[in-house]
Chains A and B, each alone.
Chain A
Amino acid sequence: MIPKETDAQVDEALLIRQVRGGQTEAFEYFVRQYQRKITRVAYRLLRDAGEADCAAQESFLRAYQNLDDFREGSTFETWLTRICINWCKDRLKRRRIVVYLHQAPAAPDEESGPRDPASLAPHPGPTPERRALSREIRESLRRAIETLSPRQRSVFVLKHFEELSIPEIAELTGIDTGTVKSHLFRAAHKIRERLREFREGA
């Protein structure tokens, strides 16, 4: 019988052995258990709900097809998340190529470009103006994050949005902790640079 995702103490290693042994319906547990989490991770990286769904489905499919490669020292969740992050990084790389080929970098304009964050200092009280200004700050931050390389973006998102530790990020991305720190440092530096450019260009 397939355990429910709400069941406590599910032996995932046993379920994996069952799937490998031919009881493929046992894999259903993993989909029910992790679909939402994996979709959320993919959404944070891709910022597109349709692509995040696609990433989640493809990650499960790859995990299922390559179940023989799964080492039981690790958890299925970590392994699956790593597959998903790799898929998303590939997607981001392709997106950058498409953007490079089809779009000239848009100059920020008065209508849609970012404003000087220094001029957007919040005023006391949650006025509509203040909400609008904080939305613009978020937007400039989002745009700055989107300029990161796929790997920097993954590390940055996992650290600041998923609030994972450096060792956890290293395990998920398959790179050592020193490299994670280096990517994190460069990502933060690049974001600050972009935000400065936005301010100066405004």
Chain B
Amino acid sequence: MEQSITGRHLTEDELLRLALPGLAEPEAVPPHVLQCGECGRGLEKWKAALRELAAEDEAALARRTADEWRSREVATLAAIRRSGAPGARRRRVAWGLGLAASLLLAALVATVRPWEDGAPDLAEVAALSGQDRADDALLRDVAVLARGEDAGGLWNSLAPVPGEPPVPEEENL
């Protein structure tokens, strides 16, 4: 009956499009909706749902008393006072980052020790006497062994007992 007023009934999607326009400005309501009670109610249903959702949000906070709001303001102000002067947190963060960077650099330097690369200082060694050079070489060998950098032989091989014939390598394994 209403169908004969002007055009057809709007689908649910079309009604929703009118109630929830994707554009900044609402679309013009078709004449049919203005004349047709069913479509008008359908559109109003969605518009009302939006309005009521917004009102629910208002109501949730409107129930708070003045004292409740006051206590939240006090809590916010207390948090602000605890944080110190404006920018204090940012300065603390900057200090913390600077300190962390310094510590990281110090740790890197202590670990890598670029001035102790293990290579012998040839000029220094050349100035030593023969005995001192022998001692120096011995101390370097000891240092290499102590660091476990001895590349020759098995790491767990034992020195042979004096006077005994050397054990074949297969038996050691």
Contacts and interface: CB of A to CB of B under 8 A. Distances in A.
Contact of B41 (A31, A122, A187): A122
Contacts, number: 127
Interface string A68-111: 10000000000000000000000000000000000000000000
Q: Could you say which of B21, B49, B58 has the most chain A C-beta atoms within 10 Å of its C-beta?
A: B49
Nearest to B87: A68
B13 A61 contact: no
A192 B57 contact: no
Contact of A39 (B61, B79, B86): B61
Given A121-B45, A188-B22, 11 more contacts: A32-B73, A39-B61, A43-B60, A57-B75, A61-B76, A67-B87, A68-B86, A138-B56, A161-B50, A189-B22, A191-B16
Contact of B12 (A31, A43, A117, A181): A117
Interface of B: 12-13, 16-17, 20-24, 38, 41-42, 44-46, 48-50, 52-54, 56-58, 60-61, 69, 72-73, 75-77, 79-81, 83, 85-90
Given A65-B88, A65-B89, A181-B24, A134 B49 contact: yes
A14 to B, nearest CB: 16
A191 B50 CA distance: 12
B20 A188 contact: yes
A185 B87 contact: no
A106 to B, nearest CB: 21
A28 interface: yes
Interface string A14-40: 000001101010011001100110011
Contact of A138 (B20, B44, B53, B72): B53
A28 B70 CA distance: 12
B45 A53 contact: no
B65 to A, nearest CB: 12
A179 to B, nearest CB: 12
Interface of A: 19-20, 22, 24, 27-28, 31-32, 35-36, 39-40, 43-44, 47, 49, 52-53, 56-57, 60-61, 64-68, 117-118, 120-122, 134, 137-138, 141-142, 145, 159-161, 166, 181, 184-189, 191-192, 195-196, 199
Contacts of A44: 54, 57
Sort A-B residue pairs by CB-CB distance and give the 4 closest, nearest first.
A188-B22, A185-B22, A161-B54, A67-B86
A120 to B, nearest CB: 8
Contact of B57 (A19, A56, A161): A161
A56 B80 CA distance: 12
Contact of B50 (A53, A160, A199): A160
B85 to A, nearest CB: 6
A161 B57 CA distance: 9
Contacts of B38: 121
